[in-house]
Amino acid sequence: MRIFTTPLKKAADRADYILIEEAEHGDNRWYQPEVITKVIHWFRQVLGEPVKSHNQPVADLDASL
């Protein structure tokens, strides 16, 4: 997986490599409180706090655009 982080780091983009033993991409081993906390911390550190949206709710979710 380091194949994906190397180009990001060369471009000066923030990329951290986290290895979870025996975990596949997105499998249940990722859904652990300490892993989720680490991911949330990374997003907040790199992207900042979430911004509240002032979008109006969609009246009909099945409506076409």
Q: Give the residue-averaged pLDDT of 17-30.
A: 84
User: Which tokens belong to 53?
Assistant: 């949206």
The pTM of this model reads 0.55
Whether residue 8 is predicted with pLDDT greater than 80 in this model: the reply is: no
| Boundaries of every domain in the chain | 2-47
Report phi then psi at 5, rounded to 5: -80, -30
Read off the pLDDT of residues 34-54 as tens digits, 9 standing for 90 and up: 988 988 998 888 888 887 777
Query: How far is the CA of 33 from the CAs of 14, 36, 37, in angstroms?
Result: 23, 5, 6
